[in-house]
Amino acid sequence: DIQMTQSPSSLSASVGDRVTITCRASQSTSGNLNWYQQKPGKAPNVLIYSASTLHGGVPSRFSGSGSGTDFTLTISDLQPEDFATYYCQQSYTFPITFGQGTRLEIK
């Protein structure tokens, strides 16, 4: 199984900040790496797929990069609605696996 490890597990930031969340896979995912945002009591929503492609309707302050085993999600100019939990997920091979999540909180 491919293990997905996110860092940090939690993060405090202020509106207007730029933050980066890292996701490391235990083996290559060949770019099959997706990022999701989840707010309390809601279903997740996809932000980025295929490591760097912005999903339709997602603000351009979200960006993804990386290849092989190391990936990053960057949020520039944090907005109040961005405070949520973020998950990476590999769709390269079964079983499909998620990172443990990164909780982004308001400082």
Partner 1 sequence: EVQLVESGGGLVQPGGSLRLSCAASGFTFSSYWMSWVRQAPGKGLEWVANIKEDGSEKYYVDSVKGRLTISRDNAKNSLSLQMNSLRAEDAAVYYCVGIRFGETINHWYFDLWGRGTLVTVSS
Q: Which of 26, 53, 65, 67 binds partner 1 (CB under 8 A)?
A: 53
Alpha-carbon gap, residue 62 to 73, rounded angstroms: 7
Instruction: Select the span of 18-26, 39-47, 59-67, 68-76 touching partner 1 (CB under 8 A).
Output: 39-47
Please state, in angstroms and rounded to a whole number, the distance separating the CA atoms of residues 65 and 69: 11
Among 20, 22, 30, 74, the residue binding partner 1 under the rule CB under 8 A is 30
Q: Is 47 exposed, middle or buried (0-12, 13-18, 19+ CB in 10 A)?
A: buried
Binding site for partner 1 (CB under 8 A): 30-32, 34, 36, 38, 42-46, 49-50, 53, 55, 87, 89, 91, 94-101
